[in-house]
Structure 1
Amino acid sequence: MASSDKKICTLCYDDDGTSTEAVTWCIECKVFLCTDCGKHHKKSRTSNDHKTMSTKDYHELPKFMLEISGHCRDHKKKFELYCSSHACPCCVQCVTHKHQKCQEMQQLLDILKQVKSSASVPLFEKDLKDVKEHFDEIIKYLNSRMDSSNIHKQKATEKIRSMRKSIDDYLDKIEKDLLDDLESKRSKLKLKMNTLLQQLTQRSNEISQLQNEFSKMAQCATELQMYVGLREIEKTTSQAVKYIEDLKSGGQFDENNLKVTVSSELQSILNDVKSFGDININTTPFTLQLKAGRKRSSTVPVSNYS
């Protein structure tokens, strides 16, 4: 039979499949009854003392209460006794099967008498209120901790990014220093090379001029002029050769190449630094002060139906 807010009579449905709207629920039989079946049910000797409730009240009961039966699951008999030792209701057969050694057996009716009007009802109602307040306070506290956690995350993120910026700024600075040094040394090399080239070009031009003058000298000069001129050329070429040898021995022709050596400390970052840092969770004790509840005592029997 489908479960919905509108219940149909169990007896009518089981009898001929009629879907008559139920108005009553029998707690003992665990069946829904329409108006007519409810009247017969109340007149029957076997069920005239059964407790019933309207279907409206039935829907307002908690689910766990709807699952509580007044009959023993093992023996299908009505609960009549209560075992204080095991805190559970019993049928007459339970006594002979499971509770032979139990001394504190009482009539279930005596245990349940005036239970709704007992002092336990407001106490448990207050317990529910207190526990609910505890949950509300804890949830509020944990939500505040969530907000705090978000703030801590934001601060940690800012710290990480600040450190990254500091590292970037520092690397930019030492990179600039190195590039400036590179440019400075290159400029010095360039100046030195340009100066040497100018000197060599000047000497080369002087030799070229002598070459041009030598052919004219050979054609037009007198013997004396030729003799003196050759001596002058010999002197000039000797000086030029010596100049070249001096430059060579002085390392002026050595090849000068720029080479960069990265700092070993900086290089070690790639080898030694494995992470940017560590994220740890620091645990502090729970500090929320909860209102103390009452001391528990067995004010009412707790039924165990398992």
Structure 2
Amino acid sequence: MATGGSSIYKGSDLIHDLSCSKCEENDLNTEAQHFCPECEHHLCNKCVKIHEEYFKKHAVYGRGDLHKWATFSMDRCDQHGKELEVLCDDHQELCCSVCVSLNHRLCKSISHLPDRAKGFHEKAEFRQLSAAVDKMRNRLDEMKKAGRKDQAKLKDSYKKIVAEIKFLRKEIDAILDQIEKATIEQLDNMIGDLEKDVNDDVVKCVKMNDQLKNMMEKINQMIGKRKETNAYIGYRKCTAKLTQADNLIGT
């Protein structure tokens, strides 16, 4: 398939991927560089200037916007914009001259459309087309309505789930607040008890330290005065106090 501004030679004829619609009306073969979706015309550089003078408000797209050239024309090739001329019987495809040159040159059977169309509108398959289209359109409408309902249900489900999540979040927050409060209260009580125990030990240490100091001072005084009995008593009391101190430190 030719792309962009390319063209293909077939014998002495120059075949463009898209030809200017206005030039074709005058039996001229000019490559299209622009497209007007409102007129459904492909235009060359010369014809687009004339078009813009008459239709200043029409949006015209150049080759840089080929994806915007798509349009629907009953007798035009969707791919190349040229007039449909034949039917490829091998592939059952409607073709323009470019289609034939590019994709169907080796096909065995190609029919001229006017020949294939003779009397076709009288055939049952053509007469049944309108009913088949209406039936399909009704099915599509039903599918669309069902899709709309599904969309509405999805939105409702989403809202309900979000509301449940938020409600659950509030319940979890409340439970966490209670746990936090109870834990802090337990911690306060535990720290208070520990501080009291530590403080009691500190007081005991200070008191026992002072007692041992005083005892040793008195014992030393007794030895100097040779009061053996009192010295012995002091020794017994002092060793007992040391045992108490050792037990205190050991705990």
TM-score when normalising by structure 2: 0.50
Where is the strand percentage greater, Structure 1 or Structure 2?
Answer: 2
Where is the helix percentage greater, Structure 1 or Structure 2?
Answer: 2
Larger Rg belongs to? 1
TM-score when normalising by structure 1: 0.42
